[in-house]
A and B are shown apart, each in its own frame.
Chain A
Amino acid sequence: MGFLEVNNIDVSYGDVQVIFDLSMHIEEGEVVSIIGGNGAGKSTLLRTISGLMKPSSGRITFKGSSMHTLPPEEIVNHGIVHVPEGRRLFSLMTIKDNLIVGAYNKEADKYKEQTLAQVYEMLPRLKERENQTALTMSGGEQQMVAIGRGLMARPKILMLDEPSLGLAPVLVNSIFETIRKIADQGTTVLLVEQDVNHSLRLSDRGYVLEHGRIALEGRADELLGNPHIKEAYLGI
């Protein structure tokens, strides 16, 4: 019985099918990257795992129980937490309130003071700014809040959708360092990225998504050396 298993899913927006017969799996404690260009279906895959979209066929299971039939809030209760693309913070709420809302699910709510202290320890900048509204933060800080909000739910799997998008290179480095720390603390991470170099260096394994299908999969170091990836994604 696998940790998270995605089996043969098809996903469509109306008449437009975006994901075709896709299968993948993640084991406990792994860091897995999904890479691919714009429109490859990366975000759609995460939205389907987190329940915002429903697959038209196929199964998604977590520790043996079905996830694809549940609404998003119940999937969060199982410990699958999705930090969406573009941060999606609660713009008019303070940083602290954003984080506390992250711990809304019953299990996480019990530990919210404790988790909040851990998140502040990992991301001290957020503590300094806890009473500012999310709207007033810079892009990098907002991404930190989004990751912090995800951590507040005490995830078993943290899914990050393009955390480095639109950030200055120096901030990109600090975001990836933060993700490394999260992984080192034992959280399973599923990372969707366009920054192929950074994300594969951080990962144990990777999947390459092209036109809604898995084009390549394998160990991250092998993928980094793969000629197709070098040419298409790294430009070497």
Chain B
Amino acid sequence: MVSDELIKRLEDKARQLRLSIVEMIGVGPVGHLGGSCSCADIVTALYYYRMNVDPKNPKKPDRDRFLLSKGHAALAQYAALADLGFFPKEELKRVKVLGGLLQGHPDMKTPGIEANTGSLGQGLSIANGMALGLRLDGLKSKVFVILGDGELAEGQVWEAAIASVNFKLDNLLAIVDHNGLQATGPIPERFDLTPIAPKWAGFGWHVIEIDGHNMREILAAIDEADTVKGKPTVIIARTIKGKGISFAENNPAFHNGAMTAEQYEQARRELGAVEEGC
């Protein structure tokens, strides 16, 4: 049984990651605020509850693998990696700066990033390959891949989804960050690919549907997935794009939007930023 204290600690960590996301974007330039915040709780659960990774030895062979197929949410991963010590927190001030470590989408030059992702629809295939190779080597490592709901329109996702079942990849967990908004608006209005869960079930996946902002549900789903043998598991996590920032929640403008100085300060306040004393 997961303790209330752990849940509280993880929820607070997710809040910190969101605050870090807001601060990486800052005032003026655009950034993928919405999709980074929608998956922040899931990213927190994976890095701080489930995964075996070591910032001091980021390439250790028996580590678990994390892939962000929806690579535009890289800020959520950067926040976690910096916090865990994979690279200095100073780097968070230089996202997308020419010559900087942190690219607009995940790049393997960054410690802790396992593949170059972000061209949508490609992450599950890479995850499959990793899972096949790790199994071949007899390693117990598991591969975790977060997909966006909008990118499920890419055909390659379903090629990969068939393959995961075909190869019985139970050392793979896919999580769909189902925030319901694609870049240009609500998925049901723009390009309706709902309902999502029956599609995966039809392909032979073990499907778990949760509230992707309820930490207890997230942990329970991750634990349940670890007990499923002989087939892959997908968690369909219902989330809110821009979660945690009132003006950005469910607002397509913040898929890749810019904040005014007022919005920036409001976002930081809502995420409990502690002002530095004078």
Tell me if chain B binds chain A: no
